[in-house]
Structure 1
Amino acid sequence: MSRRSLLRRGAGAAAGVVAAGAAAVYLFGDPTRDPVAWSRKIADVDVYNSDGPDVVVADGRCHVGAGHYYKETAALHTFDVATGKPLWKVSLNAAWAREARFTVVGGTVLALTGDPADKGGQVQAFDAATGERRWGKSVSYGAMGLDVHRPSGLLITREDGHVTGIDPRTGDERWATDVYDATSILAGDLIVCSDGTALLGKTGKELWTRSGFEPLGDSARALGEGLLCYETGRTVPVDLVCRKADTGEVMWRSPFQATKPDAFVVGALQPLDELVSGTTVFLPLAAGSRRKPTALNGLTGGQAWTYGSTYEEVGLEAARATTSVTGGFVLSTGSGLVCLAADDGRQRWHADTRQVQATGTYALLYRKEQARVFQHWTSVRIVGAGNGRTLWTGEFDGAAVSEPAASGDLVVVLDAGGTVWAVRV
């Protein structure tokens, strides 16, 4: 961050310098509680081209991925999340995979690196506390991914008609199941395969099979006793369907998207987590007879509330027009962002910016700015998701900032200049 940048919290007149040698000046209201808890400069980051995650916070530790997908510079840095003290660093001597970078499960960090020639890659496991390497496993291009079945804690791999559950600590195979099509997505206790088969993630046992059930995209979600997923629509290209998780029987169905998603683009359909808050499901797009953004009761499929008069009035700007936050949804409209309560659709707050990311009970509002051709920075405002109250504002080097990670009253981000920031909110 340049010396002209300000990091601000509240109203005050005191000034200080951020730790760890970062060139930044900030103002704060309480001299005993700096707005920047700590910052660390790391080398060779690429938040512009990263598919993430770049920062993961778990068990009191902050793990950061550095390096690129197109050259062999991938590395992991781990810090104490409360103090910023460096705990360990590992150079992977490879390029990151495009599908994912790393994830944390239990006390293990799983990293996925790829071969620039697209011949495959390798999963490597490290002790989250010490960085000690536990195991490594080569994977083919078709099996690339870091999908962890969170209820069981198993790493799920798919290849050549096999779905396998692997212990992330030891690398040992816990179960393997043959299916017609190993393409699958995780949802609650289940692993849903594209051939219509649902497996129990803990054991790999087949729970049910439904002919004609072919989930679309790479997203599914448990919702109450149901399973929410995208399927080929009856009257539009994509329906949103909720099925009974224990039988696969349809509970309710709604038109979701009137345009056909690109089958060759990963993430062409919006992740379902962005459409669900509690038991409310938000449908931001026009499809079928729906003429305004509509919220459904996710347990029954019945309409809960609508927003605005028409889609034209709301002025939705993109296919992915909503982000889920705790107890609500942030909707991108022609006049900026509006946060709606999940239970009744009442407006919580409004902001005149266009970009938002959420983590826990916080929403980060972004504005990219440019002074000259090569001088870019990103202004960030952190607000409470429930009331929109500004908790912190600041500016970061470059036109991109990583997705945030939260731990208590700390929010951690990585800027394009290679500095990890932990700010107090």
Structure 2
Amino acid sequence: MDKPTQTCGRRASERDYTAFPQEVACMHGTQVRRSFSSIVALTLTLSGAAGRAQQTPNPGDPVRDTLPNEPQIFGSATQKFRVVATKGLSRPFALAFLPNGDMLITERAGRLRIVRSGVLDPQPITGIPAVLDLRLKGLQDVAVHPRFAENQLVYFTYYKPKPGEKDVATAVLARGRFDGGHALADVRDIFVAEAWCATPSASRIAFAPDGKIFMSVGVPIRGRAGTAQPEDSQNPASHVGKVLRLNEDGSAPPDNPFSGRPDYRPEVYALGIRNILGLVIHPQTGELWEHENGPMGGDEINIVKPGRNYGWPVVSYGRAYSGDLTGDSSGPTTDQHSAPGMEEPFMIWVPSIALSGMAFYTGDQFKAWKGNIFVGGRRGTQIQRIVLNARGLPILRETLLVELKQRIAEVRQGPDSLLYLLTDEMAGALLKIEPVPAEGPTAAGSVPRQ
């Protein structure tokens, strides 16, 4: 079978575009894995250096370049934009907007920060429980209740350490009340997953239009005796490797797809998941979209349907970090790309850019970007802009911000219609992306399209 379509790498002075033929079956309900053999990718690099091998750091490599203090101006194929950095964060993971436009930001070490009127408050918000801060684990996602003005509820996920174990933790959904000061009050765990993991895993949350909460629980890279195993992603009696659907109090809704079935956890909404680092509701359709961080290749976007199986670790385009085919401890257990009863991905990335954060752009500040999807890349130190056609199929990917050499952890659209990113660095930052007039200069190495 031919290799699936991939975005080729580029140097800092280049910009990549991967264009997909419109007949490529990339929507849910189509056989994407079987169709990839017919995909032809056209990669256009403006500097004429198409096809060079991508040089990206390993997922855990430190990034040596630091962000400049002054705003930087860049050009994309359709839009000039300015990047403004707010520094002072440490390994931020997620952000959420309060009704007044202020931002709550999680740091994996267990700190909840707030940006008020564009300025990072130096004093963290208290009330976060003890977390296990190890690799991807720690304080994870944060979300504001849709009726926050009435109840002041803030929800967050974190990895709760197992007593007596230095590196074992499970994903927890908690909530507390925030009155705008420096403390969460009445904090309590409302759901504790049966998913004790000894290696990296992650958790995201999203509020559905009906007020239910979707929560992802990642699968470990490898198992250890007495802890979760990668194969538990296929085990309906485990919360590992699942998307869960919960009431706002953490209980399981009676209309969940497996409710009442023996040997199934009632909270399970979908299974066969690896590690979700982007979980969002489509602003027009109300569908749940997620992307999974694969091993060396195999990042994928999925549209999540109730009761469906998304394949991990039975089917995958991923390879182990060692470069070996499946069978390594950090890779899938088979080289299958499809199997009966398992869903096809909407898109895949080979090699992996370690997808993290996702946003549908619906604002008016960047008119040329309206309807586009934006995803971040930890390993790829970039964001990618994904253009969809009228049928909702991906037809182009554009790579942006590689020049900054920052691992991107989060991508969100703000209430001001600007884009906001978080950098996954010890000296982390909040990046605001805003438009600039067409006549403005561009940063060195970012030549706008001619």
TM-score for the superposition, normalised by structure 1: 0.40
Larger Rg: 1
Higher strand share: 1
